[in-house]
Amino acid sequence: MIGRLTGRVELLDEGRCLVDVAGVGYLVHASTRSLAGFPSPPALAAVLVETQVREDAITLYGFADAAEREWFRLLLTVQGVGAKVALSILSALSPTELIAAIGAGDRARITRAPGVGPKLAIRLLSELREKAGAMPTGAGIAMPAQALPQGGLADDAVSALLNLGYRRPEAASAVARAAEAMGEAASVEALIRAGLKELAR
């Protein structure tokens, strides 16, 4: 199995690139985000690779960084997500943006990727919610600290929602949206009520 290619980038095309390694040209499919990170031909590059072997073909998928490759692997575990759709998602959203969208339950953001409809977006959000925080760039990104207002009121509201059975990323996201709408004068009780309304949407 090929895990990395180091050679000269001969071609950058839509959705793919050609990497020359010791005279052998490897056609590598990649997201637009990774392609933008590769050097312009004919520069040398190291491309991380995920190899898929099937009866009728061996296909290489390339990535500019390890985080995107890990997300590609995780996305393929979701029913209805093939390599093409996974690359489409990674073209539309960076790993950091994916973690934020999953943590916030932001279906609209996920459906921006071509090939991802509402039903698939819901499946992605539900199946990856527990796994997103452990992914590369995931620590502390599902809900950035600066997204919450300073002070103990928001923390208390989030704690209350956690006690009701909600997960931290979705609870923190709901409280952050509620606090933004209500302003700093909101009480804990008001934040909890508004947070519950956000979660019910």
pLDDT digits (tens, 9 = 90+) for 131-177: 877 787 633 333 333 334 434 677 778 777 777 777 777 777 778 77
Contact assessment for residue 68 and residue 95, using Cβ atoms and an 8 Å cutoff: yes
Contact assessment for residue 90 and residue 115, using Cβ atoms and an 8 Å cutoff: no
pLDDT of residue 147: 39
The residue extents of the domains of the chain are 4-63, 66-132, 145-200
Q: Which two tokens stand for residue 12?
A: 């950058």
d(C-alpha 111, C-alpha 124), whole Å:
10
CATH of domain 145-200: 1.10.8
Q: Which two tokens stand for residue 189?
A: 């009780």
d(C-alpha 139, C-alpha 161), whole Å:
21
Q: Which one of 3.30.2270.10, 1.10.150.20, 3.40.980.10, 1.10.1270.20 gives the CATH number of domain 66-132?
A: 1.10.150.20
CATH of domain 4-63: 2.40.50.140
Contact assessment for residue 41 and residue 13, using Cβ atoms and an 8 Å cutoff: no
pTM over cut 0.85: no
pLDDT of residue 152: 61
pLDDT of residue 137: 62
